[in-house]
Amino acid sequence: MASNNGTVGKWEVVKKGKKNPNSGGKPGDKKSGGGERKVLTESNLFTRPPPIISETLYDNFEKMAKKQNKEQMPPATAESQNKKPPMGKPSKKASPLNSPQPTSAHKNLEAAFKTLDVSELKQQLGRSQALFPESPSVWVKDLAGYLNHKLNVPESEPTLSNYAHDYPYCLAGKELKSVMKGLIGRCSDDLPDFFDHCVSTMLRELDRQPDEPLHGYRVCIQAILQDKPRIATQSLPEYLELLRSVQNRPAKCLTIMWALGQAGFYDLSQGLRVWLGIMLPVLGVKSLSSYALAYLQRLLMLHANLTKGFGIMGPKEFFPLLDFAFMPKNALSSSLQEQLRRLYPRLKVLAFGAKPESTLHTYLPSFLSRATPHCPDDMKRELLSSMTECLCVDVQSLGVWRQLYTKHLPQSSLLLNHLLRSWKSKGKLLLFREMCGWLGC
């Protein structure tokens, strides 16, 4: 796959000019110059304009933490300065990847949620709204920053596959959820930018520490998409471009897939759009295929009623899945191929949709072209069964087959022999003879 590693994931920080002492700007006024403007330079990655990120209250948390760490460092002495590392053990240079993870005061994330002071959060959000009364985007970013600071528990892995689909948001108490929902409801116009901000910040933090805690941004993403799942599908082409550009960073890819995939747990149609637009294109990439299929399986198990997913998948999306499921020696491992084959019947129902009697003729050409005499037996059985269904359900299929008959003679012969063996009843034999007359054979 193509990769655009040159510009993706970089941020430019453009300092505003000093505030004019004679100007009477308010703290939340854009002209007052009270903060920084962070401009996303990812080759115009998102169709939405990059948000203006004013300095938030969360910035103070980072400054306080750095100051506290600096004060706790013991003063350097002459002995410590002259002390050399023991021979035979080369010293390692400090780097962001080797720096120790800040120790958490909580044994797990559930404990961190229980000790989170919601009244303190309300006070912080109140200060944010007082300082930036005209900047709702700052309020929600302060919310995410505060939560991420307080939920400082190391992450297990980017997809959280061993937990419930709504983890970690399910750990939040009623009061915390009420505060989050109330604030998010007041910032509805800024939510698309806020969603992008959460994803971008998570990716940026992964550059600093591979296991950097990101729970605060995760719960905000889940809170947004629970009520507005369509936000996740507004910029799928741009997110696919981003995914491909960081393909050599599996943790980042999986983080993007996890974030967008949260929409599907609340809306099947949006989940299918995410899977077809983001995960199907990377199906076959070794480091991503397992999660892509695990997500699809969870999505289809969670939504027993498939009718809400009708109309999302067509022949263009369906036939690559058929090939992955039945063609041997493809990019999927045998275990993943078997997993996809178990999901295939439900995918077929989604593809054929609510009115197969008027859509199946559009699938017949691709079924027919694949039904060569030398194709694998499992695939051959599936193709012949599907073409039979097309001919029996959609009356337009026979006309399509007649147009393709001479172009695909070996495949047509295979189908005719299958129909002759299968249609043993008198009524079907008469239909078979009528079809042969139509085909001119």
Tokens read off for 278: 């983001």
Mean pLDDT score, 59-73: 44
Task: Please state, in angstroms and rounded to a whole number, the distance separating the CA atoms of residues 312 and 321.
Answer: 14
Query: Looking at the DSSP assignment, which residues form a beta bridge with residue 37?
Result: 14
Q: Above 70 in pLDDT, residue 321?
A: yes
Task: Write down the pLDDT at residue 419.
Answer: 86
Residues 260, 274 contacting (CB under 8 angstroms) = yes
Average pLDDT along the chain: 80
Q: Compute the distance between CA of residue 119 and CA of residue 170 in angstroms, rounded to an integer.
A: 20
Per-domain residue ranges of the chain:
1-15+29-62+102-227, 355-441
Mean pLDDT of 378-397: 94
141, with CB counted inside 10 A (0-12, 13-18, 19+), is buried
Maximum separation of any 2 CA atoms in the chain, in Å: 103
CA angle 146, 148, 153 (to 5 degrees): 135
- What's the pTM? 0.76
Query: What does the pLDDT look like over 139-191, one tens digit per residue?
Result: 999 999 999 999 999 888 899 999 999 999 999 999 999 999 999 999 999 99
Structure-model confidence comparison of residues 321 and 85, the more confident one: 321
Return the percent helix, strand and coil in the chain, to nearest 5: 60, 0, 35
pLDDT in tens, 214-244: 999 999 999 999 999 999 999 999 999 999 9
At residue 166, the pLDDT reads: 96
